Amino acid sequence: MSELMVEQWKHVFKLDPDRELDDASLEAICMSGTDAILVGGSSGVTYDNTVDLLARLRRYETPCALEVTSIEAIVPGFDLYLVPIVLNASNTDAIVGHHVEALRRYGRLLTKEAVAAEGYVIANPGCEAAKASEAKAVTAEEIAAYAQYADRLLRLPIVYVEYSGTFGDLQAVARAKSALTQARLFYGGGIDSAEKAALAAEAADTIVVGNVIYTSLQAALETVRVRRM
């Protein structure tokens, strides 16, 4: 079921529990026509702020997924739990350590139908996620190789190329997508206009729009146009 759910996603908004978003803005996001809301962040994510955000999101029918970036912030009640495995991490906790501990504590809460792994390739070495995972810098060729590893050997349903904070190399993203046989290619990073959303949607299967929500809500809402492409 988890794979079938993400196969329908073309546009996703990502909300950070550690950042403020008023009720009117949240309603606009949830009623925008986006395919799903992804909840997660690289720092400051706690059980309390995650459960508070989930309670507000549950006023709407938009599917909600939790990206499990903090063991302490695993909250029951999401439609889907996405577990990032940072393939180019030097810190092995970002590859397997945190995941084993999360399953030890909360595995009973996560059914097969409600959890999916993401093969993450962090391509912006300056972002918080890269620092936390000690991600190695990657070339376009290496991004494609990591994507093939996640797709063909690990059989992961999602490969997520993350340029968090900057608009990435879409040729590299498209190359990674073309190398996949069954996984869905997610792209995130620097999408702050409808034009960039359209370019990213050509290179990836699913685009993830996050930071612009907190700087220009109208620009964020305009990115949803890609669902009609």
75-107 confidence digits (pLDDT tens): 888 999 888 888 988 765 555 556 556 666 656
What's the pLDDT score for residue 121? 93
Least confident of 47-56, 64-73, 163-172, 210-219: 64-73
Q: In the predicted model, is pLDDT for residue 2 greater than 70?
A: no
| Averaged pLDDT for residues 110-114 | 61
What's the pLDDT score for residue 1? 45
The answer to whether 69 touches 86, Cβ cutoff 8 Å, is: no
Closest CA to 184 of 155, 141, 163: 155
What's the pLDDT score for residue 137? 86
What's the pLDDT score for residue 43? 77
CATH for 30: 3.20.20.390
| Averaged pLDDT for residues 162-170 | 92
- Which pTM was predicted? 0.89
Domain count, the chain: 1
- For residue 89, the cross-strand partners are 135
Nearest 5 degrees, angle CA 101-CA 104-CA 105? 90
Q: In the predicted model, is pLDDT for residue 213 greater than 90?
A: yes
Q: Residue type for 188, please? A: G
The answer to whether 175 touches 140, Cβ cutoff 8 Å, is: yes
| Spatial separation of the C-alpha atoms in residues 134 and 172, rounded to whole Å | 21
Average pLDDT, the chain: 88
What residue numbers bound the domain in which 142 lies?
2-228
What's the pLDDT score for residue 95? 53
User: What confidence category does residue 33 fall into, taking pLDDT thresholds of 50, 70 and 90?
Assistant: very high
| Averaged pLDDT for residues 196-202 | 97
